[in-house]
Amino acid sequence: MKRTTYFFLSLLLAVGGCSTDLLDIEESNAVVDNTSGTGNAGDTSSDVKTPESDDSATDSATSVTDDAEDNITGTDFDRTIAIVFGGTQATVTGDEHSIVTVSGNDVTVNNTTDEKIIYELSGSSQDGFFKLYSNKKQAIRLNGVSLANKNGAAINNQSKKRTFVVVSGTNTLKDGASYTETPSGEDEKAAFFSEGQLVFSGDGSLTVTASGKSGITSDDYVRFMDSPAVTVVSSAGHAVRGKDAVIVTGGTIEATSTAAMKKGFASDSLVRFEGGVTTVSVSGGTAYDSDDQEYKAAAGVKADQLFEMVGGKLTVTSSGAGGKGISGDGNGVFKGGTVVVKVTGSNYGSSSSGRWGGGSSSSDNSKSAKGIKFEGNLTVSGGSVTASSSNHEGIEAKGTITVTGGSVYSSSKDDAINAGSHMTVSGGFVCAISSGNDGMDANGNCYIKGGVVYAAGASSPEVGIDANTEGGYKLYVSGGTLVAVGGLENGSSLTQACYSASSWSRNTWYALYSGSDTTPVLCFKTPASGGTSLVVSTSGTPSLKSGVSVSGGTSYAGGLAVTGGTAGGGSSVKLASYSGGAGMGGGPGGPGGRW
């Protein structure tokens, strides 16, 4: 089996003094060294020490996405054994070597031959199972089967070889509320469980309902290919879990988990989306895990080592207390596709400071509800990423955040986008809107080098774009198109000139022009609230109009911003040179900031 290995870099984590989430930074064990000239614009890492980390942060993650053997057309099968469930006993045809044992509708296969076999399951039983032992790879064709096991898994694949699951017609699988007949020494972790790889394909539908454990689980990896429609609902465990990986290459996948601590998609290593349409919903909250002796929260998607978004569409909702949308103990990489994350749950537990997202320490049971969170670094080079959180950060990485392309839109009550270390935007589109904190918050240096950035923070002391000045860091603006409601962090280094508006109005469309251009470089709608300052910057001397009507162009951030459009009407806004001081807050029309 061809595998490509990803090795993780050590996490770059830093604790700063600007409106940061000390609740979770304390968990990251980050250490900052402020003795080496931390304000150096050319140095993005030497001032950040590598924290101690557990094995999950340093082990390699394995990708199987280039594995040609996952295409079922490359395998020649020797025979098909048909199993029809129903009546008082299942019937079997094609079993020339007598490898199938039947007891009522309990069907067990022990393939000790050298044959690669297709097992075709059809019919219906509400008290049966299909169990497989084999030393050869095989295929399970689900061809109109409805199977429920009152005492455990509906399908229990003990083979450690690759198993193709071909979905034809309409199929349903259900487990029992308790797993009472699992042999000693065997695993049985889900309604559809496999020791080896599970590779789904076909053009039918499969619904898996789990009330005792997880929905679909492999102790190797789970991959969805071609175009099956798979729906997985678990009220007791994860919806879909692959120990080594969960990969979506194609198909329509719906995964729901309602259990506390559990995930929609979970892997000890890699979660990767390459195509297809995936919808994940979790409503479970936070609970105490007696095995690991810690509090854990639910998450729509959890990757312990690496999360990758390459293509397809992923929609995640999380409503439980302390829950996350997408969570990773390692790095997050967004290269393509479309991601939409919505987190509506409240924060769980309490912090000793009495303020979420701040204070000096937190209690052990505190879990904050965040849209997208990675313990490592976050990079965006393509695709579309949208995240919202009602009570905490929309997007957070404990390491660095780097955007070189694609589009990112985050809205939240806390920091919309927060980096535990440095943040860099050199391309693409970034929109960060916070109703109660900073729009963009870097606990190291923040670099705006290119692309389009639209950030809005709450009233003073919050700002549109924040860097950890107390830690000796700065905001550096050297290129791109910039709009910041609430102003910029005090002491910013502005090698590309910035300008402040005399005033701004809520919920109003503005057009920003650069130099002598007659087409606006950005049209944007201001938020319903925010700090007093409105700061803009473009590659040429900017001009600004308010109250414009916008047509055409490419829309971003849920319709809050447009590039390449035209603007009609409006009135000119007076701009003044801005020297890098922070706005004073107070809302639109209030006292000006320092510039």
Q: Is the pLDDT assigned to residue 132 strictly greater than 70?
A: yes
Q: What percent of the chain is modeled with pLDDT above 70?
A: 84
In 3D space, the residue among 129, 126, 148, 2 whose CA is nearest the CA of residue 62 turns out to be: 2
Any idea which of 28-32, 122-126, 397-401 has the lowest mean pLDDT? Answer: 28-32
H/E stretch holding 23 reads helix 22-28
Q: Is the peptide bond before 461 cis (omega within 30 degrees of 0)?
A: yes
Q: How far is CA 181 from CA 163, 186, 210, in A?
A: 23, 11, 16
For residue 57, the 8-state DSSP code is H
d(CA 45, CA 37): 11
Q: Is the pLDDT assigned to residue 19 strictly greater than 70?
A: no
Tell me the helix, strand and coil percentages in the chain, rounded to 5: 5, 45, 50
Amino acid 84 reads: V
For residue 66, name the pLDDT band (cuts at 50, 70, 90). Answer: low
Measured over the CA atoms of residue 356, residue 362, residue 368 and residue 372, the dihedral's sign is: positive
User: Could you identify the residue written with the tokens 């990251």?
Assistant: 28
For residue 9, the 8-state DSSP code is P
pLDDT of residue 64: 53
Phi, psi of 344 (to 5 degrees): -115, 0
For residue 68, name the pLDDT band (cuts at 50, 70, 90). Answer: confident
Q: Is the pLDDT assigned to residue 10 strictly greater than 80?
A: no
Non-local (6+) Cβ contacts of 292 within 8 A are none
d(CA 401, CA 424): 6
Asked whether 275 and 248 are in contact (CB, 8 A), the reply is: yes
User: Could you identify the residue written with the tokens 């099968």?
Assistant: 77
Asked whether 195 and 187 are in contact (CB, 8 A), the reply is: yes
Q: How far is CA 371 from CA 234, 265, 545, in A?
A: 22, 15, 34
pLDDT of residue 45: 38
User: Could you identify the residue written with the tokens 């729906």?
Assistant: 231
Find the mean pLDDT for residues 118-147. 98
Tokens of 352: 């000793």
The number of CA neighbours under 13 Å toward the Cβ of 418 is 36
Q: Is the pLDDT assigned to residue 585 strictly greater than 60?
A: no
Non-local (6+) Cβ contacts of 98 within 8 A are none
* Angle, alpha carbons 454-455-456 (nearest 5°): 130
Radius of gyration of the chain (CA): 27
Print burial letters for 511-528: b (CB count within 10 Å at least 16), e (below 16). Answer: bbbbeeeeebbbbbbbbe
d(CA 379, CA 370): 18
Find the mean pLDDT for residues 32-51. 37
d(CA 127, CA 399): 50
d(CA 91, CA 101): 10
In 3D space, the residue among 169, 194, 281 whose CA is nearest the CA of residue 233 turns out to be: 281
User: Could you identify the residue written with the tokens 């920091």?
Assistant: 415
Number of H helices, E strands in the chain: 2, 59
* Angle, alpha carbons 466-470-472 (nearest 5°): 95
User: Could you identify the residue written with the tokens 């303020």?
Assistant: 355
pLDDT tens, residue by residue, 530-546: 989 999 999 999 999 99
Asked whether 330 and 375 are in contact (CB, 8 A), the reply is: yes
CA 410 to chain centre: 13
Tokens of 562: 């447009």
Q: Is the pLDDT assigned to residue 48 strictly greater than 90?
A: no
In 3D space, the residue among 416, 365, 377 whose CA is nearest the CA of residue 393 turns out to be: 416
pLDDT of residue 57: 35
Find the mean pLDDT for residues 60-83. 81
pLDDT of residue 366: 86
Query: How crowded is residue 235: how many other Cβ atoms within 10 Å of its Cβ?
Result: 17
pLDDT of residue 210: 98
HEC sequence for 451-483: CEEEEECCCCCCCCEEECHHHCCCEEECCCEEE
Phi, psi of 107 (to 5 degrees): -115, 125
Q: 346 burial class (0-12, 13-18, 19+ CB within 10 angstroms)?
A: middle
Any idea which of 1-5, 189-193, 268-272, 558-562 has the lowest mean pLDDT? Answer: 1-5
CA 361 to chain centre: 27
Q: Is the pLDDT assigned to residue 213 strictly greater than 70?
A: yes
Amino acid 92 reads: V
Tokens of 390: 């009602």
d(CA 356, CA 359): 8
Q: Is the pLDDT assigned to residue 131 strictly greater than 70?
A: yes
pLDDT of residue 584: 36
Q: How far is CA 324 from CA 146, 199, 255, 568, in A?
A: 34, 27, 15, 41
Tokens of 584: 């004073």
For residue 43, name the pLDDT band (cuts at 50, 70, 90). Answer: very low
Tokens of 47: 């001032």
Asked whether 62 and 245 are in contact (CB, 8 A), the reply is: yes
Non-local (6+) Cβ contacts of 163 within 8 A are 132, 137, 138, 139, 140, 157, 194, 196, 197, 198, 199
Helix (H, G, I), strand (E, B) or coil at 286: strand
pLDDT of residue 40: 44
For residue 59, name the pLDDT band (cuts at 50, 70, 90). Answer: very low
d(CA 399, CA 378): 7
d(CA 444, CA 442): 5
Give the predicted TM-score (pTM) of the model: 0.87
Find the mean pLDDT for residues 494-506. 96
Q: Is the pLDDT assigned to residue 3 strictly greater than 70?
A: no
In 3D space, the residue among 374, 326, 308, 306 whose CA is nearest the CA of residue 7 turns out to be: 306
Helix (H, G, I), strand (E, B) or coil at 441: strand
